[in-house]
Chains A and B, each alone.
Chain A
Amino acid sequence: MNTAPVAQLAQALAAGRLSSVELTRGLLDRIAALGPALNAFLTLDRDGALAQAQAADQARAAGRAGPLTGIPIAHKDVLMTAGLRTTCGSRMLEDFVAPYSAFVVEQLARAGMVLVGKTNMDEFAMGSSNESSYFGPVRNPWNTEFVPGGSSGGSAAAVAARLIPAATGTDTGGSIRQPAALSGICGLKPTYGVCSRYGLIAFASSLDTPGVFAQTAEDCAHLLGAMAGHDPRDSTSLDRPAEDYTRDLARPLKGLRIGLPKEYFGDGTEAGVVGAIEAALDELRKLGATTIAVTLPNVDLSVPVYYVIAPAEASSNLSRFDGVRYGHRAEHYADLMDMYKKSRAEGFGAEVKRRILVGTYVLSHGYYDAYYLKAQQVRRLIADDFQRVYQQCDVIIGPTSPTTAFKLGDKTDDPVKMYLNDIFTIAGNLTGAPGVSIPCGFDHRGLPVGMQLQGNYFQEARILNVAHQFQQVTDWHARVPEAFKP
């Protein structure tokens, strides 16, 4: 029972067949037994979780329970949690105890969810394999010699191994959707601005998007409803009427127009991935959807554009880590300048330093027009491509990632090779439109394949509708890695 999706757990809690304390204790025991093999958690808060679970049971007894009350959740360690260590996967913040909580953390706590712990991640969310974490890599539950994807690898692996029914993530270039695909679960990146970034340790502010992992699209819809909302403390948080993201789940797919960009099915995409997506499209056609060939001529430029914009913003955001107000300070230094340089050299890992250097260079005197301005112009061309395509179709479908999971160490020495993992997800961050990755099959090695469903701005309910209808006639989302079967 403890390993069921959120919606089923909520029913059991509401019917009194299960208490939040029983559920939370059961999962904490499961994490203690099975978690170490994956390295998915950086901090566990057993006592805090059990106290919250008890409070949730009391709220329910008093008739004050909502649909998510008493359900355990884990947060990616980039989201600040008041009183609980928040490391961002970095030596820089190894001992940092957050003085306040992120907006989405507060929202989910208000919904009565029980915070069990913090999940491992690529350092400062920079990575696609979870190998850049200062606290060691996360392993893929389907095969522990393989990566779970990144940067939200700990959250993805924990949900895939059924150690937790739901977990938050953040997506700057694919960091929710890509690990969801490589780990065989659902991962939702909402429209930029729907979830406040307050308390999310900033990487690239114009791209960073909080979102969620769960077993099903239905669960993602419930969780997004609880996370979303206007927050004046984030100037980019959108002030819109509250939405019920579950409202379209049951809508039939008859008449749905699916756009298939030819760029997503080219030579760079593994045959096993294409095969699984083609089979999934057949299922969707059986449900009444039609498919249309479309083209996104500038989408292959999204990786170069991203690697100007994201590092530029990162170099600015990460300048706050100076060894003065918080974070690591070097032990030995000659003067203030030397203290800055040594503290940052010791506190940041290789990939984070690399991106800060790239960003510093593209913003430096004489290079701004050639890099940053140019990237913003091409970003516009990419966004225009999508708007053109959405005049012909309702959703865009393709692989989330060109490959399934790869072995630990395979891409660590070649940053560009690593960056190309996100070739199908980055455009969603550049445009700011929503996307969800859902499992849709396995390759010849038994590794999961993820299918990405993208929609235009604020079309979360529609893409979740398509994902949910697919999950009504398939069981890929219900598969559990052998070693983690209940």
Chain B
Amino acid sequence: MALSLDDIQRIAHLARIEITPAEAADVGRKLDGIFAMIGRMSAVDTTGIVPMSHAQDLSLPLREDRVSESDRHVDYQRVAPAVQDGLYLVPKVIE
């Protein structure tokens, strides 16, 4: 499988990462190498094998539905790039 430049741009768009046309060829070449290595897996017969999603077979723990955290939005917004009146600022989305 070789990824086309269109494939690369499509994946990059889904991942929300800008890739310039100048970068795309090298990115594609390296991804092709990685997918060739990953492809070795496809030869294995996995019929009927139960997928292993996690190291421990655990059921998700539940907790009581009550407030456990204090309001620390000032601390958390201190590290944000742009904040005003307790709100995160982003470019205008709706005209």
Contact = CB atoms under 8 A, between A and B. Distances in A.
Contacts of B52: 376-377, 379-380, 383, 430
Nearest to B36: A416
Given A305-B41, A333-B91, A378 B53 contact: no
A304 B79 contact: no
A153 to B, nearest CB: 22
A206 B53 contact: yes
Nearest to B72: A99
A193 B38 contact: no
Instruction: Provide the main secondary structure of the chain A interface.
Output: helix
A337 B19 CA distance: 14
Contacts of B22: none
Interface string B39-60: 1111010100111111110101
B79 A97 contact: yes
A135 interface: no
Given A325-B80, A342-B18, A344-B17, A377 B46 contact: yes
Interface in B1-41: 8, 11-19, 27, 30-31, 33-41
Q: Chain A CB within 10 Å — which of B12, B58, B81 has the most? A: B81
A28 interface: no
Q: Chain A CB within 10 Å — which of B39, B46, B76 has the most? A: B46
A195 to B, nearest CB: 13
A184 to B, nearest CB: 29
B44 A336 contact: no
B86 interface: no
A75 interface: no
A419 B52 CA distance: 22
Contacts of B42: 370, 374
Interface in A155-194: 191-193
A329 B81 CA distance: 6
Contact of B51 (A345, A371, A373): A373
A307 B30 CA distance: 13
B55 A192 contact: yes
What are the 10 closest A-B residue pairs judged by CB atoms, nearest first?
A: A432-B55, A376-B51, A329-B81, A377-B46, A380-B52, A341-B18, A345-B18, A192-B55, A377-B49, A360-B15
